[in-house]
Amino acid sequence: MLYRFEDCELDDRLYQLRRQGERVEIEPKAFDLLVYLLHQRERIVAKDELLDKLWPGTVVSEAALTRCIARAREAIGDDGEQQRIVKTQHGRGYRFVAAVREQTLEPEAAPVATEAVPSPHPAAGQPQEVALPLPQPRVWPRRALILSGLLLLVGIIGTVQYLSLRPPAPSANIPAEESQPLLLPDKPSIVVLPFVNMSGAGAGRGPRSYRG
């Protein structure tokens, strides 16, 4: 909550005190005292109540409270003679007597950006905006798509037939037939030839053998 009084602003949520728009350094106890007196400004707050609020569970003298009141008055520009903001009620306590204006620190809604829409009937002398048609995507005719599909199919069929009718290439793994010469034996051999008796003598004899 933001509290405005005299030329001061006290924000108990942000724990800040400003005077004439400038931030004022203030002791924590003095700030807590101002906040408590603000919240209880409809009545007089006794000294014992302030002592229990500012120093709970601690025994302190009234001199400590007097010094805290002086620091608070110094921060808000008040003094002990005029007492325009915090007034001392002798023998009773203290009371916040300045007029206070309260304001919440809720964030303001950001303005919504609106797009200017051109008037359908512009005034005379003003340029008129002309909406250009957006480019349309190119659409192929159905007949062209069918023809392209048929050409692709014919090409595939022709390729398959060409590969199926093509004679297979000779395999490199099959060795070519080579003529090998006959090998001669390395040992003596006997050749038997037919014997023909041209003179007629010794007819009936069989073939002769020759040792090579």
Task: Specify the CATH number for the domain of residue 93.
Answer: 1.10.10.10
Amino acid 195: pLDDT: 61
Say if 121 falls within a structural domain: no
Looking at per-residue pLDDT, the higher value among 133 and 69 belongs to 69
* C-alpha–C-alpha distance, residues 145 and 137, integer Å: 16
Confidence (pLDDT) at 155: 87
In three-state secondary structure terms, 46 is: coil
Contact between 54 and 72 (Cβ < 8 Å): no
Over 50: is that where the pLDDT of 50 sits? yes
- CB burial readout 26-55, b (16+ within 10 A) else e: beebbbbbbbbbbebbeebbebeebbeebe
pLDDT digits (tens, 9 = 90+) for 12-34: 999 999 999 999 999 999 999 99
* Range of lowest pLDDT (22-26, 65-69, 110-114): 110-114
d(CA 100, CA 6): 8
Q: What is the dihedral of CA 86, 90, 93, 96, to 10 degrees?
A: -20
- Dig out the tokens for 134 from the structure: 């957006």
Whether 58 maps to a domain, the answer reads yes
**Domain membership flag for residue 74:** yes
User: Does any domain span residue 18?
Assistant: yes
Q: Which residues contact 175 (CB under 8 A, 6 or more apart)?
A: none
**114-123, 141-150, 158-167, 193-202: the lowest-pLDDT one:** 114-123
Question: Does residue 189 lie in a domain region?
Answer: no
Which has more pLDDT, 113 or 5?
Answer: 5
Residue 76 within a domain: yes
pLDDT, tens only, 157-205 = 888 888 877 666 655 555 555 556 666 666 666 666 666 666 666 555 5
Number of domains within the chain: 1
Quick one: which of 35, 43, 27, 40 has its CA closest to 9?
Answer: 35
Residue 198 domain flag: no
Residue 84 lies in a domain: yes
Q: Domain range holding 62?
A: 2-103
pLDDT at 207: 54
List, in sequence order, the alpha helices (H) in the chain. Answer: 28-39, 47-54, 62-76, 142-165
pLDDT band at residue 140, thresholds of 50, 70 and 90?
Answer: low
